[in-house]
Amino acid sequence: MVGQLGSETGIHERTDSTYERAVLGLKNYWWPVLSSKEVREKPVPAKLGGEDVVFLRRSGRVYALSDHCAHRGVPLSQGRHEFKDSTTITCSNHGFTYDCATGVCVAALTDGPDSPVVGKARVRTYPVEERKGIVWIWMGRMPPVPVDQDIPDGILDDDNHVLVRIRGLSDNKDKVRPGNWRYHAENTGVGHFPVLHRYALSNLLNPLWAHTTGAGTIVREEPDGLYVVETAEGLAKQATYPGLGVWPPARPWRRFGIGRFDEKAEPTTVSMRLPGIVRVTRFPTDVSVYYEWWVPVDESHYQLTQIIHEKRGGIFTRLWRYLKYRAYVTPLIVHRLIDQDGAVVQAQTKKAIEDDGANPMSRDFRPDSFPLAFIDLCNKTARGEVQGGT
């Protein structure tokens, strides 16, 4: 087991570490940030990892640039495509025109074709790739690794149906979630599920367990990367808490749901990997695998990129899947249940900001071996340099 519980006092004290500095995320990884269909010729502004970025499409290809013109900082997302046959964007103010691939200023319209700033002024560009209808961006300063290296197994598999939900950014700004991405990572795992999600609408008919026995965490090298994997010896249905009584109370109706507590079934496993991804097997349905990226927007906001894959199947499987997701899985689990986590993350971030921006100290308990192992993984193996947040 890694991710030791804190000091002898049981308090997990935070120190200066890669994880502590990563307020704005681990940038030397590919982040899935937009769906491809959102990016057309018209620029799309976004804040990611504390930086203002503009996405646009030219000749079928997606480009990402800093959203601040090198002249007076006017957002390039307000710019226009003046030269239709070129891969450029022209600032709406004085007409600095940038090559989207290099970020170099190739014309300054109101200064004439011989303007001396041509070839000298430039804006930052970010590597972008498209895979499975998703735009992936590399925000880091080190040269990018091949994008497929950062995409977990199954997502690129042609035999799989891949469902993507990106909750936030350009399509729906108010869905940028309040909270720092790390609190979502720390709230992941079996330590919260049977309490926080007990009264989620999708669980009201489900016989959730009381607690795990022998909770632990292992670090596992898998073909697609290094994961921390949550383990448990068993799940107790009910328990007697001294002086308090039995919990959870028996509820006869809690057996009619599409249960997540089928003792005979292969258990759901929850794992995390860098830069901030959770993988849940047999979730949100018994035949799917769920991935969720916590993509940092700024210190106190993040977006969720949720990617789910299931085997493709024939026409009836596809029809059943469509109906199931429309009527139940997407509204009740992919949205509402995960929003319960979001509310916790928001509250924790608010408290941390009130407490001078510090991560709160936490009094760890045994199931915390899982998020602590993730923190450990981050501190020991994060790619590239991690800059502080503010």
Residues at the contact surface with ligand FES, assessed by CB under 6 A: 69, 71-72, 74, 91, 93-96
How far is Cα 24 from Cα 297, in angstroms, rounded to an integer? 7
The answer to whether 292 contacts Fe ion (rule: CB under 5 A) is no
Closer CB to Fe ion, 80 or 282, in the complex: 282
Among 20, 67, 99, 341, binds Fe ion (CB under 5 A): 341
CB of 107 to ligand FES, least distance (A): 10
Q: Which residues of 281-306 are buried (b: 16+ CB within 10 A; e: fewer)?
A: ebbbbeebbbbbbbbbbbbbbbbbbb
69/166 with CB nearer ligand FES: 69
3-state secondary structure of 32: strand
The alpha carbons of the chain give a radius of gyration, in whole angstroms, of: 23
Q: State the binding partner of 165 from ligand FES, Fe ion, none, CB within 5 to 8 A by kind.
A: none
d(CA 165, CA 327): 16
Nearer to ligand FES, 67 or 310 (CB): 67
Query: Is the peptide bond prior to 367 cis by the omega test (within 30 degrees of 0)?
Result: no
* Complex with ligand FES: residue 26 or 108, whichever CB lies closer: 108
Give the rounded distance of the alpha carbon of 243 from its chain centre: 41
Q: Smallest distance from the beta carbon of 45 to ligand FES, in angstroms?
A: 15
Q: Which is nearer to ligand FES, 33 or 76 (CB)?
A: 76
Q: How near is the Cβ of 97 to ligand FES at its closest, in Å?
A: 9
Among residues 59 and 110, whose Cβ is nearest to ligand FES? 110
Q: Taking CB within 5 to 8 Å according to partner kind, which of Fe ion, ligand FES, none is near residue 341?
A: Fe ion
Q: Pick between residue 96 and residue 183 the one whose CB is nearest to ligand FES.
A: 96
Q: Is 105 exposed, middle or buried (0-12, 13-18, 19+ CB in 10 A)?
A: buried
CB within 8 A of 80, min separation 6: which ones?
89, 90, 92
Rounded Cα distance between 64 and 125, Å, is 6
Residue 71 beta carbon to Fe ion: minimum distance, rounded to whole angstroms: 46
Site string for Fe ion, 236-265 (x = CB under 5 A): ------------------------------
* Residues 277, 300: Cα–Cα separation, whole Å: 18
Measured CA to CA, the distance from residue 159 to residue 227 in angstroms comes to: 23
Nearest approach, Cβ of residue 81 and ligand FES (Å): 15
Nearer CB in complex with ligand FES: 79/179: 79
- Residue 220 touches which of ligand FES, Fe ion, none (CB < 5 to 8 A by kind)? none
Contacted by 93, from ligand FES, Fe ion, none: CB < 5 to 8 Å by type: ligand FES
| Closest residue to Fe ion: CB criterion | 341
Q: Give residues with Cβ within 8 angstroms of 256, minimum separation 6.
A: 205
- Tell me how far apart the alpha carbons of residues 50 and 296 are, in angstroms, rounded to a whole number: 8
| Closest listed residue to residue 72, CA positions, set 105, 100, 41, 23 | 105
Q: Least distance from C-beta 74 to ligand FES, angstroms? A: 4
Partner whose footprint covers residue 91, from Fe ion, ligand FES, none (CB < 5 to 8 Å by kind): ligand FES
Q: Which residues bind Fe ion (CB under 5 A)?
A: 341
